[in-house]
Amino acid sequence: MEFFSTPDLIEIGGYPFPIQGYKPTREEAVEYYRGVAAQEKLDIRLYERVTDVRGTAGSFTVVTDRNEYRARNVIVSIGFFDEPNLLDVPGEDLPKVTHYYREPYPYVQQKVAVIGARNSAAKAALDCYRHGAEVTLIVRSAALSDKVKYWIKPDLANRIKEGSIRAYFSTTVQEIRSASLVLRTGGGPV
Ligand SMILES: Cc1cc2nc3c(=O)[nH]c(=O)nc-3n(C[C@H](O)[C@H](O)[C@H](O)COP(=O)(O)OP(=O)(O)OC[C@H]3O[C@@H](n4cnc5c(N)ncnc54)[C@H](O)[C@@H]3O)c2cc1C
């Protein structure tokens, strides 16, 4: 995956972030942040899960699966990417279903349904299409969202228009089966 911003917008601590291209890739960004952390000698405790935070401002106890720490202040920055929005439909737990997109190669010459059409779904659909997958996009709303970045949206819209990516709008998923999906469309089930 690629970052949406140019490197100058995601630089931290005054460290320059030179890259070859226009936008950093995930690997470039992770390597940059790793380098900054090493340079700043940040005290990072990896593979340690916070299970509880107790106390009040000025006197907190942070409990993890390995330790307990005392802190005057706590900043919680646990993001939201760890928690996918589940569809809650039959078949969602089949091994062919993933809630995270990593790379297109498992989907080469495969039929792939991408559910949703915000930025991550749009990028995954385009990436799979450009690596030889037959992609169908399933979208709850009647059109592509305005929240899709301005340089991604026309690419996806044009692929749909020319028929390279098939799209079902105003459609939800009712069931996922081993070799098909049952969709709830405006014109009835498909
Ligand atoms: C494709 C893509 C491109 C993006 N491009 C940009 C961009 O160009 N510019 C920009 O500003 N933003 C961009 N974003 C958004 C940006 O990545 C997020 O806003 C940012 O990562 C949020 O940072 P965070 O630290 O809050 O959470 P995260 O980066 O999600 O990190 C949360 C961390 O907390 C850990 N964690 C969770 N629970 C616990 C626990 N109980 N104990 C210990 N650790 C825990 C998780 O394992 C994770 O490592 C992009 C996102 C995507 C998906």
- The domain limits of the chain are 7-71, 105-189
- What whole-number distance in Å separates Cα of residue 8 and Cα of residue 54? 38
Q: Please answer whether residues 156 and 125 qualify as being in contact, where contact means their C-beta atoms are separated by less than 8 angstroms.
A: yes
What pLDDT band is residue 80 in, cutting at 50, 70 and 90?
Answer: confident
Counting residues of the chain whose pLDDT is more than 90, the rounded percentage is 93
Would the CB of 120 count as within 6 Å of ligand 1?
yes
Task: Please say if the pLDDT value at position 82 is more than 80.
Answer: no
Which protein residue has the closest C-alpha to ligand 1 atom 43? 49
- Phi and psi of 9, rounded to 5°? -85, -15
In 2-20, which positions are buried (b, 16+ CB within 10 angstroms) versus exposed (e)? Answer: eeeeebeeeeeeeeebeee
Would the CB of 79 count as within 6 Å of ligand 1?
yes
How far does residue 177's CA lie from ligand 1's centre (Å)?
Answer: 32
How far does residue 20's CA lie from ligand 1's centre (Å)?
Answer: 23
Would the CB of 47 count as within 6 Å of ligand 1?
no
How far does residue 25's CA lie from ligand 1's centre (Å)?
Answer: 14
Beta bridge partners, 111, equal 134
- What whole-number distance in Å separates Cα of residue 129 and Cα of residue 135? 6
How far does residue 80's CA lie from ligand 1's centre (Å)?
Answer: 7
pLDDT of residue 93: 97
- What whole-number distance in Å separates Cα of residue 63 and Cα of residue 35? 28
What pLDDT band is residue 1 in, cutting at 50, 70 and 90?
Answer: confident
Which protein residue has the closest C-alpha to ligand 1 atom 50? 3
Would the CB of 3 count as within 6 Å of ligand 1?
yes
Cα separations in angstroms, 148 against 108, 122, 130, 157: 25, 8, 19, 11
How far does residue 78's CA lie from ligand 1's centre (Å)?
Answer: 7
What pLDDT band is residue 18 in, cutting at 50, 70 and 90?
Answer: very high
What pLDDT band is residue 147 in, cutting at 50, 70 and 90?
Answer: very high
In CATH, 105-189 is 3.50.50.60: yes
Residue with tokens 């928690």: 83
What pLDDT band is residue 81 in, cutting at 50, 70 and 90?
Answer: confident
DSSP string, 33-52: HHHHHHHTT----TT--EEE
Which protein residue has the closest C-alpha to ligand 1 atom 38? 78
Would the CB of 75 count as within 6 Å of ligand 1?
no
